[in-house]
């Protein structure tokens, strides 16, 4: 390799390592990585990427990007994953024996390029009604505009009625990782219609609730994150982390 190319490669690896170190984390002590940053690493980690799976060929991957095709294809680099149950993750789409989902964050043991998944972070399922709730957030958030994408999937074989007591569908809270103090709540500066409403989620259907924040003014660093559906039918609270640059 030419000296300049070697230098650029080393600098790229150093930048990825620094970014991962900054995201050493609140959940299980595992650094939060992109598939690119996970290359060549081993140990307990959390990797977030585009989930692509073809169960018939036993192929499950977390991808750095998605290629424009239908069904979509996995953009390299990617991390092979094992131990994932597609029926337990909100927001799974499928066509032609291919399954995929955006922004899936999986924690487990990474060895020789394969991640043995122990838990899907920011995801929870209510076994009583089959509702699965998942929050999609970037690996790193930038000050300013940020979208929290809440996904609600009905994994059961019957319609589920979801009741809301106002126009608010979900909420997100960020806490100081050291003190546990709340430093941000998405709904705090917002008002909502107080009319009661009900939504019917059909079997296999996923509903998206986008919580847009256009004035995120937080100090750089990691935060503990909590989110839930604002409904008595909520599958529960999901927990993870968000790093602000």
Q: Which domain holds residue 215?
A: 123-244
The number of domains in the chain is 2
Q: Is residue 143 part of a domain?
A: yes
| DSSP secondary structure, 41-83, as one string | --EEEEEEEEEEEEGGGTEEEEEEEEESSSS-EEEEEEEEEES
Q: Are 219 and 129 part of one and the same domain?
A: yes
As a whole number, mean pLDDT of residues 95-104 equals 97
Q: Are residues 88 and 139 in the same domain?
A: no
224 and 236, same domain (yes or no):
yes
The residue among 42, 27, 46 whose CA lies nearest residue 240 is 27
Joined tokens for residue 243: 């790093």
Rounded CA gap, 181 and 161, in Å? 34
Question: Domain check: are 89 and 133 in the same one?
Answer: no
Residue 102 lies in a domain: yes
Position 9 in a domain: no
Residues 116, 137 within the same domain: no
Distance of CA 50 to the CA centre of its chain: 9
Render 10-47 in DSSP notation, one character per residue: HHHHHHHHHHHHHT--TTTTPPEE-TTTTTT--EEEEE
Same domain, 84 and 134: no
pLDDT tens by residue, 54-96: 999 999 999 999 998 999 999 999 999 999 999 999 999 999 9
Helix, strand or coil, per DSSP, at residue 146: strand
Q: Are residues 44 and 141 in the same domain?
A: no
- pLDDT tens sequence across 125-178: 999 999 999 999 999 988 778 999 999 999 999 999 999 999 999 999 999 999
């Amino acid at each position: 390799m030419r000296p300049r190319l070697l230098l650029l490669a080393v600098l790229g690896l150093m930048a990825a390592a620094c970014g991962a170190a900054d995201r050493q984390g609140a959940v299980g002590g595992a650094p939060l990585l992109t598939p690119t940053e996970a290359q060549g690493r081993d140990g307990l980690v959390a990797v977030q990427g585009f989930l692509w799976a073809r169960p018939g060929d036993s192929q499950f991957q977390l991808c750095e990007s998605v290629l424009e095709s239908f069904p979509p294809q996995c953009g390299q680099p990617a991390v092979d994953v094992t131990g994932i149950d597609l029926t337990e993750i909100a927001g799974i789409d499928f066509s032609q024996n291919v399954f995929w989902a955006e922004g899936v964050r999986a924690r487990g043991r990474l060895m020789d390029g394969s991640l043995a998944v122990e838990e899907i972070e920011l995801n929870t399922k209510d076994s009583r009604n089959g509702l699965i709730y998942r929050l999609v957030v970037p690996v790193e958030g930038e000050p300013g505009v940020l979208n929290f994408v809440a996904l609600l999937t009905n994994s059961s074989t019957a319609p589920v009625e979801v009741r809301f007591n106002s126009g608010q569908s979900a909420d997100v809270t960020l806490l100081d990782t050291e003190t546990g103090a709340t430093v941000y709540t998405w709904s705090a500066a917002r008002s909502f219609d107080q009319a009661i409403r009900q939504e019917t989620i059909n079997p296999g259907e996923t509903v998206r609730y986008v919580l847009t924040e256009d004035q995120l003014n937080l100090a750089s660093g990691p935060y503990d994150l909590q989110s839930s559906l604002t409904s008595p039918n909520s599958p529960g609270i999901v927990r993870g982390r968000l790093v602000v640059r």
